[in-house]
Amino acid sequence: MSEYAGEYAVVVDGVSKCFRVIRDRPLSLKEAWTGMRPRSGRRSHRGRSEPFWALRDVELKVPRGSMYGLVGRNGSGKSSLLRIMAGIYRPTGGRVVVRGRTSALLELGAGFHPALSGRENIYLNASVLGVPKAQIHDRVDRIIEFSGLEEFIDSPVKIYSSGMYVRLGFAVAVNVDPEILIVDEVVAVGDEEFQHRCLSHLESLRAQGVTIVLVSHDLGMLRANCDRMAWLNRGLLAAEGEPQAVINAYLDTVDTEGAASVGHRPRPDAGSETPMRITNLEFFDDAGHRPKSFASGDPLIVRIHYLASEPIDDPVFSLGFYDHNNLHLAGPRSHIDGFRPGRLEGEGWVEFRAGRIPFRTGAFHVNAAVQDRDASFLYDRRAREFWLQITGEPDPRANGLLNLEGGWRAGSQ
């Protein structure tokens, strides 16, 4: 693959990975030796193995000097692919070409000896990554300072918390002059301050030409920082390309499955034209204006525009408010609130009024759906097309994701 040498740092060419999964392990040494079940005396199938394909024919190219994100549900093959890129696993089929000195942070405690101190593990870990001892000695103070573990650096790492493991592992991985840095979700274990420092340092490394491949469930971070992304779904490459397009494709599947789990089932005649469509979503303030942004604590009116090609009796409307990580924050539904719109036909709208916006500042996408009056079948659903911007000073009462309305009282026993 010499044709990729200049343009790509990592080329994944038709990679598959198969593991052998052992079913019904023997319960005792006797059973393992004889293959007989206790009591019955009959032959057991315990210990048989079955193939599990973690990856199948995955092909992707990571441009040199880019930040490349991998997204997918747990068990989709992301970590297996990273381990193949890092040379920890060998592919069952296909091959990976990695051009550059690679550093990887893939799991808590990887490369650490629990009985050694943090300082000793810096030397051990960096040596495994191929850094000469003299060079490690020149950088050890910088690594310790970056980790923020000065107080514990001469204590054995077996007493470290998961966050301390990540701090030390990340500090070593990014300070050994990697040309390619491979990072799994473990960075998310660190506290918020350390995560910000990690992202800032990753951006600095990218500016220096380091290629970064990372797995994360933080979709907002991936959207904001990655140049390209790939979505793995059950070991298959489901989408690859521009981050927003890949994230949308991934969330389309998540949303469809989530909608089905709360009763948004398609109609039996879903192959035909739907009799009711959602045509638009608008956001108004209490004065009937449509500002570009709102402030936390402001009143909010969400207007759902629809088009019904035939009379529809008491359809059910619903909204879903989501943050940048697709975390479902709120989901008002008209039938739960006792709202019955009557018979609707042609063009019209329905509104949901909130006395105050409970979210802190940021961008939130708002999904809209309409179902039949029993909330049994879905007529239409619009997802991630409409965004609500909350700006300005946050409401001092909104500490966290949401502000819970309520009051306090005191008493005595």
pLDDT reading at 236 higher than 90: yes
- Note whether 70 and 229 are within 8 A (CB): yes
Amino acid at 123: Y
Among the listed residues 327, 336, 386, 408, the one whose alpha carbon sits nearest the alpha carbon of residue 360: 327
**Section 62-72 average pLDDT:** 95
What is the value of pTM for the model shown? 0.72
**Integer Cα distance of 195 and 401 in angstroms:** 18
Averaged pLDDT for residues 188-197:
72
Could you tell me where in the chain the CATH 2.70.50.60 domains are found?
275-390
pLDDT at position 109: 63
pLDDT tens digits, 104-160: 888 766 678 889 999 999 998 888 777 888 888 888 999 999 888 999 999 999 999
The alpha carbon torsion through 109, 194, 245, 100 (nearest 10 deg) reads -60
CATH of 275-390, one of 2.60.40.1760, 2.70.50.60, 1.10.10.10, 3.40.718.10: 2.70.50.60
The whole-number average pLDDT for the span 342-347 is 93
Confidence of residue 255 (pLDDT cuts 50, 70, 90): confident
CATH number assigned to the domain with residue range 2-23+49-253, chosen from the 4 options 3.40.50.300, 1.20.810.10, 3.50.50.60, 3.40.50.1820: 3.40.50.300
What mean pLDDT do residues 374-379 have?
86
